[in-house]
C-alpha cells in the first residue's frame, strides 16, 4: 500500500471518529461530544503527514484533513440540532400529556409516570416523584441535555404549584401553551433561515461543479490542484474560504435561533 493510500485511510478514520455517535448514555443524554474524538482525529491526520513520502502528499494530507475535520464538525452540529429539536418536541408533549392526566384525576406522581412512560430521559424524575423527592430539582438536572432547557419552566411551574397549593394542571397547561407558541416561532425562524443555508451550500458546491465541467471539457484541473505548489495553495485557500463561509452562516443561524 502506498503512502498516499495510507494517508487517505487515516483521514477517513479521522472523519469517522467525529461522525459516529458516541455510545454509553444514549442519543438524548449526550450533552457535548468529548474532546477525545477530536484529539484522535487530529492524531490520525498527523500520522498521515508522517507516513507521506513526499512534501506534496504531506501538504495534501493537511489540506484535506483540515477540511474533513471541519466538515465533519458541521455535520455533527447539524445532527445535534436535530436531536435537540426532537427533545424540545418531547417536552411539549410531556406538558400536554401531564395536563391531560391531571385533569383526569391522577395525582402528580402517577400523572408524571404515565406522561413520561415512553421517555427514558425522565426516568430519574419519575423515581424522584415516586419517593416524594424534589421533583423540580430533578427536572433542572436534565436541562443541560440539548433541547431540554424548557424543562426548567416545567420545574418552576411544579414548584410554584407545590408551594402555593394552586392546581398543577392549570400551571402545566399554561406552560404547554407557551412552549407550543415558542416552538411555532422557532419553526418560522428556521424556515426563514433555510433559504440562506441552502444558498450557502449551493455556493459551496459550485467549485466542484466547475472542476467537473473542466474535466469534461478535456482539461485536467485536478492534476494542477494536487500536483503543483500553486495548485495546492489554490486548493487550500479555496477549501478554507468555503468552509469558513459555511461555518459563519451556521454560526449566524444558530445565534438567531437562540435569540428568537
Q: What is the pLDDT of residues 24-43, one digit of tens each?
A: 334 444 444 455 566 666 66
Is it the case that residue 16 has pLDDT exceeding 80?
no
254, part of any domain: no
21, part of any domain: no
pTM tops 0.85, yes or no: no
Is it the case that residue 10 has pLDDT exceeding 80?
no
CA–CA separation, 200 and 217 (whole Å): 27
152, part of any domain: yes
162, part of any domain: yes
174, part of any domain: yes
Q: 5-14, 82-91, 159-168, 190-199: which has the minimum mean pLDDT?
A: 5-14
148, part of any domain: yes
pLDDT tens, residue by residue, 57-77: 777 777 777 777 788 788 888
Q: What is the mean pLDDT of residues 198-227?
A: 83
In the three-class reduction of DSSP (H, G, I as helix; E, B as strand; rest coil), residue 33 is classed as coil
- Residue 65's Cβ-count burial label (10 Å; 0-12, 13-18, 19+) is buried
Expressed as residue numbers, the domain containing 177 is 87-182
18, part of any domain: no
Percent over 90 (pLDDT), the chain:
2
> What was the pLDDT predicted at 256?
73
Q: What is the mean pLDDT of residues 112-138?
A: 88
Q: What is the mean pLDDT of residues 222-244?
A: 85
- The answer to whether the beta carbons of residues 19 and 76 sit under 8 Å apart is yes
34, part of any domain: no
Other CB atoms within a 10 A radius of the CB of residue 119 amount to 17
> How many domains in the chain?
1
Structure confidence at residue 82 as a pLDDT band (50, 70, 90): confident
| Grid cell at residue 33 | 461530544
Is it the case that residue 17 has pLDDT exceeding 50?
yes
Structure confidence at residue 192 as a pLDDT band (50, 70, 90): confident
> What was the pLDDT predicted at 24?
39
Q: What is the mean pLDDT of residues 138-147?
A: 89
Q: Show Cβ contacts of residue 207 under 8 Å, excluding neighbours closer than 6 positions.
A: 238, 242
Q: Which long-range contacts (CB under 8 A, 24 or more apart) does 122-130 make?
A: 122/94
Amino acid at each position: 500500500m502506498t503512502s498516499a493510500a495510507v494517508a487517505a485511510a487515516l483521514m477517513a478514520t479521522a472523519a469517522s471518529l467525529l461522525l459516529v455517535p458516541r455510545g454509553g448514555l444514549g442519543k438524548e443524554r449526550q450533552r457535548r461530544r468529548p474532546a477525545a474524538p477530536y484529539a484522535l482525529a487530529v492524531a490520525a491526520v498527523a500520522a498521515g503527514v508522517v507516513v507521506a513520502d513526499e512534501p506534496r502528499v504531506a501538504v495534501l494530507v493537511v489540506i484535506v484533513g483540515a477540511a474533513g475535520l471541519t466538515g465533519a464538525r458541521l455535520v455533527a452540529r447539524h445532527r445535534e440540532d436535530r436531536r435537540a429539536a426532537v427533545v424540545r418536541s418531547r417536552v411539549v408533549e410531556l406538558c400536554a400529556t401531564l395536563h391531560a392526566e391531571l385533569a383526569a384525576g391522577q395525582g402528580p406522581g402517577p400523572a408524571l409516570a404515565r406522561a413520561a412512560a415512553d421517555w427514558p430521559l425522565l426516568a430519574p424524575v419519575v423515581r424522584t416523584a415516586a419517593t416524594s423527592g424534589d421533583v423540580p430539582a430533578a427536572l433542572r438536572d436534565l436541562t443541560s441535555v440539548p433541547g431540554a432547557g424548557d424543562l426548567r419552566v416545567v420545574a418552576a411551574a411544579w414548584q410554584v404549584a407545590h408551594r402555593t397549593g394552586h392546581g398543577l394542571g392549570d400551571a402545566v397547561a399554561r406552560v404547554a401553551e407557551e412552549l407550543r407558541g415558542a416552538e411555532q416561532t422557532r419553526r418560522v425562524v428556521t424556515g426563514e433561515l433555510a433559504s440562506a443555508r441552502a444558498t450557502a451550500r449551493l455556493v459551496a458546491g459550485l467549485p466542484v461543479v466547475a472542476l467537473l465541467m473542466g474535466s469534461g471539457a478535456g482539461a485536467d484541473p485536478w492534476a494542477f490542484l494536487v500536483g503543483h505548489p500553486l495548485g495546492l495553495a489554490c486548493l487550500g485557500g479555496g477549501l478554507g474560504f468555503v468552509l469558513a463561509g459555511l461555518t459563519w452562516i451556521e454560526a449566524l443561524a444558530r445565534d438567531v435561533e437562540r435569540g428568537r
